[in-house]
Amino acid sequence: MSHTTFNDAHTESLSQADDMVAISTPVCEKDPVKVNLLGLSRPELEVFFESLGEKKFRAGQVMKWIHQFGVTDFAEMTNLAGKLRDKLVQVACIEAPEVVHKQFSQDGTRKWVFRVGDGAGSLVETVLIPAHDKTGERKTLCISSQVGCALDCSFCSTGKQGFQRDLTPAEIIGQLWVANQSYMEDVPVGERTRTVTNVVMMGMGEPLLNFDAVVSSMRIMLDDFAYGMSKRRVTLSTSGVVPMMDRLGEEIDVALAISLHAPNDELRNELVPINKKYPLAELIPAARRYLARDGGLESARKHVTIEYVMLDGVNDSLDHAKQLIQLLHNLPSKINLIPFNPFPHAPYGRSSNNRIKAFQKLVSDAGFVCTIRTTRGDDIDAACGQLVGQVADRTRRAERWKKSVAARQQGEILRTRG
């Protein structure tokens, strides 16, 4: 595979090295003969500048303008020669996905809905949650990786929409760009700083099923010329796509979270159907392999985070807690209990606080760090997947699913009556 030029944005593709996967050139929606620079990682931008007959270091300069200073107008990039700026105006753009809705909550939570294509269903959301901890003030951004999701977990409103499409790197990093930008609008360019401190890939979609775009975006998050985030503050959450967990381990050092939700195969098959393909006996060793590639002092691979949604009467008993302790005894892990976020027609309820606390106590007493996720931004429905879930609740899968829930409930009513 050879390096490409950017002469024909429609047909050419980018490749950083012979053994790397080609990424199709991202075009600007408003002017499709131009290249959108927003989603290009530094090696990709270097190829782009070389194709213009420029030196590679221009890539770092332009990345700073885009990601650190939030500048989209090439005319403002004062350390580039006038001729280069004119050239860039002709061949490139910096285009973030369109914000169709935003809500800023009293408690500091912010939420955006983006349109990423035609039609009512082509919406994704991003949530920013501020918090204080011993390391100071944190701003955590929950980013989406796909429109919808193919994996159909039974408690997840994104899954109920079905899968529509993968997001591009520009659409993924664009969510971070917009969130940072929202704190900079009134700040002079020279005084702008990067505000978001943490990213979690826990919005809509399964990030490991959009692997290349997600990894490329995470490289931009870690790049000092862009967001310069620490590896430990970028977390990928997966429902357990085992082969892609190994690939992730080979390609990038970021924190890993696993959506476990059940301590045995029988229950997990029901809640997280991908478990039928990659059962616990494969998932737990894959998590261990990921940690075994520990990249030294700064590595994000000291432990995995285990996410466990608390569903009333389904997976929240003390017996489940004991099974969980047994399952994880050999895996360096921190456990995060997530109170279930109800959505219209959901077949589950949220466990009571007492039940969640009793579960937490048992797991903590066994020596695990076990936290309960606090819900924030309730006044703006800022739970991952919720608002878009309501907007896009019209797909065929959602209809089928609603009918099956209704039929099941009807059956239960009849049984109780009988």
Choosing from 94, 147, 153, 324, the residue that interacts with ligand SF4 (CB under 6 A) is 153
45: left (phi over 0), alpha (psi -120 to 50) or beta: alpha
Q: Distance between CA 331 and CA 329 in Å, rounded?
A: 6
Buried b / exposed e over 158-181, threshold 16 CB at 10 Å, is bbbbbbbebbbbbbbbbbbbbbbb
Contact between 351 and 310 under an 8 Å Cβ cutoff? The reply is yes
Question: Does 340 interact with ligand SAH (rule: CB under 6 A)?
Answer: yes
Residue 397 parent element (H or E): helix 396-417
Shortest approach of ligand SAH to residue 275 CB, angstroms?
12
**Strand residues in 77-156 grouped as ranges (E):** 92-93, 98-104, 110-115, 123-133, 136-142, 146-148
With CA atoms as reference, report the closest residue to 209 among 253, 159, 157, 254: 159
Q: Enter the DSSP assignment of 16.
A: S
Which 342-361 residues touch ligand SAH, going by CB under 6 A?
none
Look at residue 307 and give the partner it binds from ligand SF4, ligand SAH, none, a contact being a CB closer than 5 to 8 Å depending on partner kind: ligand SAH
Nearer to ligand SF4 (CB atom), residue 108 or residue 273 = 273
- Which of 16, 217, 259, 360: binder of ligand SAH (CB under 6 A)? 259
Q: Is 405 helix (H, G, I), strand (E, B) or coil?
A: helix
Q: Which residues, 6+ apart, have CB-to-CB distance to 369 below 8 Å? A: 334, 335
From residue 283 to residue 312, what is the string marking binding to ligand SAH with x (rule CB under 6 A)?
Answer: ------------------------x-x---
DSSP 8-state secondary structure symbol assigned to residue 27: B
Task: Verify whether residue 93 is a known catalytic residue.
Answer: no
Specify the stretch interacting with ligand SF4 by CB under 6 A; choose among 81-89, 100-108, 134-142, 147-155.
147-155
Respond yes or no: is residue 191 known to be catalytic.
no
The window from 27-35, 126-134, 232-240, 364-372 that contacts ligand SAH (CB under 6 A) reads: 232-240
Contacts of 331 (CB under 8 A, 6+ apart): 284, 287, 288, 291, 304
Q: To the nearest whole angstrom, how small is the minimum distance from the Cβ of residue 163 to ligand SF4? A: 9
From 158, 198, 275, 315, residue interacting with ligand SF4 (rule: CB under 6 A): 158
CB of 210 to ligand SF4, least distance (A): 11
Residue closer to ligand SF4, measured from CB, 160 or 231: 160
3-state secondary structure of 61: helix
- Shortest CB 406 distance to ligand SAH, Å: 19
> Which one of the listed residues 125, 171, 206, 307 is annotated catalytic?
125
Interface residues with ligand SF4 (CB under 6 A)?
Answer: 149, 151-153, 156, 158-159, 205-206, 239, 259
Interface residues with ligand SAH (CB under 6 A)?
Answer: 155-156, 202, 206, 237-239, 259, 307, 309, 338, 340-341, 384-385
